[in-house]
Structure 1
Amino acid sequence: MNILITGGAGFIGSHTAEYFHENGNDVFVLDNLSTGKIENIPFINQENFFNIDIRDYNKIEAIIKEFQFDVIVHLAAVVSVVDTVKDPITSNEVNVEATLNLLDINKKYNQNIKKIIFASSAAVYGNDPILPKTMDSMIRPASPYAIQKYAGEQYLKIYNSLYGLPTVALRFFNVYGPKQDPKSQYSGVLSILKNKFDNGDEFIFNGDGLQTRDFVFVKDIVNAINIVVNNDNANGNIFNVGSGKASSLMEMFETFQQIYNKTISYRYGDERAGDVKHSLADISSLVKLGYQPNYQVNNGLKEYLNSEIKLGI
């Protein structure tokens, strides 16, 4: 297949690109490298890489017209909740307007498109206290980021129902794994914890440490993407992607203590604006399509840490 991955030089994107490349597909990556890294995708040929902003609509249109992609995995986004709180206008341009533009260009000019997959987020559920989060759960976005992700996935549904575009939205829960940059402010908490334990630095809990998350290993995310790419029954739908289990941040801290066989100092700070308190995915609808998470926290963390050692990170 001919596959375009927007944001493909980033954390999730590079793993997705590598998987489809290794399985014999012709993979193209579009990334402006504002947060992605070209060294994440050494297997991508130079002619298959587009250093383009997702908002450069004329260039996006030209690429779609020329290459007529079978599959587009749309991961390019402002992924920091903090950044969307600081600048909701710019993040809306990237997360909503550019997504809508991508859909419309494919509707008009791509006769070959078989699937467009959009990376949404568990953030759309907000602080609704009822767990687990199902597709019938209340939507209570608590940040511009969450609103923008919800808008994006709803546009995918509309473009499927009105225009027959084969779209799928995936609500990612808390993703972790190799290549996640602990130094960036949008990084996942587990990569930050790893960095603190590696360097013996103090860790700051944003809140009381009792907030819970459904941590999902990046390879399970890629597995979910592959499943919906190859299943027409997924079209027009939205799915949660998680492990189906929740862990508190304090529990994760204690797991790191066990793996590293040491402890580090920590303290409690203020909760971050827009953060949710508890999160847990109901993944039953995706399981019906064949999804099964292969990683829970213990084996996921061990593979994560071993992979980072092999990468020299």
Structure 2
Amino acid sequence: MNILVTGGTVFASRYTAEYFSKRGNTVYVLNRGSKPQSQNVIPIIGDRKNLGNILKLYHFDAVIDVTAYNSEDVELLLNGLESFDKYILISSSAVYPETLPQPFYETMEVGPNSIWGKYGTDKIAAENALLQKCPDVYIIRPPYLCGPMNNLYREAFVFECAEQDRPFYLPEDGSMKLQFSHIGDMCRLIEKILVTDVKEHIFNTGYPVPVSIKEWVSLCYSIVGKTPIFKNVGAEIAQRSYFPFYKYEYILNVDRMSSILPDLTPLSDSLRESYEWFINNRELIVRKPLIEYIEKNLA
């Protein structure tokens, strides 16, 4: 296939581009050329907000839009494309209002979420803009993505705490649940959509069973070969000042995904792949001052 991946230089878009390239597809990446390119791809250097005619020479069997964050992003890319067969938008679980009963199903009405704010409403606008022009597109709504190439300070933060033999400052009793989706599993779902006759067009992704933050931290430490000593932090201290996730527990129903992709990468394997990538790419992590806050206010 000829596949266009938007981005192609950081985490989800880079992994996606390299995943499909390794499987023998001709992968084009659309980005501004300001960062190192993915391996074995064809860069199309341009800004999706000012495309001109740079995409008009191509027909794409698939467009995988990883970097659309609002309706303008979608509309400008659609206007810049000459022709394509399938369009897959990577959206977000942030489109579900936290007031809905859980788990969240793909059939539920989307709406504002007070935790995610503008990010969530912009993703809703991106979905709507796409559906208005191309009703047969596919939309994927992952929870927290994990796996290799993750440059966000999530697993990396815990890995660093483990490497430095730090006690881990855990929000309250550590029972808050998190749901993850392995980036490789998301790409395998996209592959299924591209090569098979898939009935549904909107998919939640992720592990069917969430994990408590205490279990997740313990698993991260074990990957480094350590066992955490926990220090519990009360609810009166803002969680995001010392922990990489919001105080927000939710779960997606992933039955649609599971019906066509029953075998998922175990979370332990995903974290092991993350750590193997992290130890060779530490300089790419977008760090936040979590450890500094802990040392100044909690330690």
TM-score of the two chains, using structure 1 as the length reference: 0.76
> Is the 8 Å Cα contact of residues 175 and 188 (structure 1) preserved in structure 2?
no
Larger CA Rg, structure 1 vs 2: 2
> Is the 8 Å Cα contact of residues 156 and 168 (structure 1) preserved in structure 2?
no
CA 10–257 in structure 1, closer or farther in 2 if over 3 Å, else same: closer
Q: What letter corresponds to residue 67 of structure 2 in structure 1? A: A
> Is the 8 Å Cα contact of residues 206 and 272 (structure 1) preserved in structure 2?
no
Secondary structure in 1 matching 2:110? coil
Secondary structure in 1 matching 2:131? helix
Structure 1 runs not aligned, ≥5 long: 78-93, 182-186
- Within a 5 Å distance, the mapping from 1:273-288 to structure 2 comes to 275=246, 277-288=248-259
- Within a 5 Å distance, the mapping from 1:1-313 to structure 2 comes to 1-32=1-32, 37-38=35-36, 41-44=38-41, 48-58=42-52, 62-77=53-68, 95-106=70-81, 109-110=82-83, 113-128=84-99, 130-140=101-111, 141-142=113-114, 143-161=117-135, 166-181=136-151, 187=152, 189-200=154-165, 209-234=174-199, 237-259=201-223, 260-263=225-228, 268=233, 269-272=237-240, 275=246, 277-288=248-259, 290-309=260-279, 311=280, 313=282
CA 5–14 in structure 1, closer or farther in 2 if over 3 Å, else same: same
CA separation in 2, counterparts of 1:248 and 1:103? Answer: 40
Number of residue pairs matched by the alignment: 272
Q: Percent identity?
A: 24
Please give the root-mean-square deviation of Cα atoms over the aligned residues, in Å. Answer: 2.9
Q: What letter corresponds to residue 11 of structure 2 in structure 1? A: F
Kindly state the Cα deviation for residue 131 of structure 1 after the two structures are TM-superposed. Answer: 2.3
Q: What letter corresponds to residue 227 of structure 1 in structure 2? A: K
Kindly state the Cα deviation for residue 210 of structure 1 after the two structures are TM-superposed. Answer: 3.7
Kindly state the Cα deviation for residue 204 of structure 1 after the two structures are TM-superposed. Answer: 5.7
Kindly state the Cα deviation for residue 4 of structure 1 after the two structures are TM-superposed. Answer: 0.9
Q: What letter corresponds to residue 97 of structure 1 in structure 2? A: E
Give the structure with the larger helix fraction. 1
CA 208–144 in structure 1, closer or farther in 2 if over 3 Å, else same: farther
Deviation per CA, 1:56-106, whole angstroms, max 9, x where unpaired? Answer: 232xxx1221122221111114xxxxxxxxxxxxxxxx5220112222444
CA 205–56 in structure 1, closer or farther in 2 if over 3 Å, else same: farther
> Is the 8 Å Cα contact of residues 211 and 249 (structure 1) preserved in structure 2?
yes
Q: Which range moves more in the overlay, 115-124 or 187-196?
A: 187-196
> Is the 8 Å Cα contact of residues 161 and 167 (structure 2) preserved in structure 1?
yes
Kindly state the Cα deviation for residue 199 of structure 1 after the two structures are TM-superposed. Answer: 3.9
Kindly state the Cα deviation for residue 294 of structure 1 after the two structures are TM-superposed. Answer: 1.9
Secondary structure in 1 matching 2:64? strand
Kindly state the Cα deviation for residue 200 of structure 1 after the two structures are TM-superposed. Answer: 4.2
Q: Which range moves more in the overlay, 130-139 or 218-227?
A: 130-139
TM-score of the two chains, using structure 2 as the length reference: 0.79
Q: What letter corresponds to residue 40 of structure 2 in structure 1? A: F
CA separation in 1, counterparts of 2:156 and 2:165? Answer: 14
> Is the 8 Å Cα contact of residues 221 and 228 (structure 2) preserved in structure 1?
yes
CA 122–13 in structure 1, closer or farther in 2 if over 3 Å, else same: same
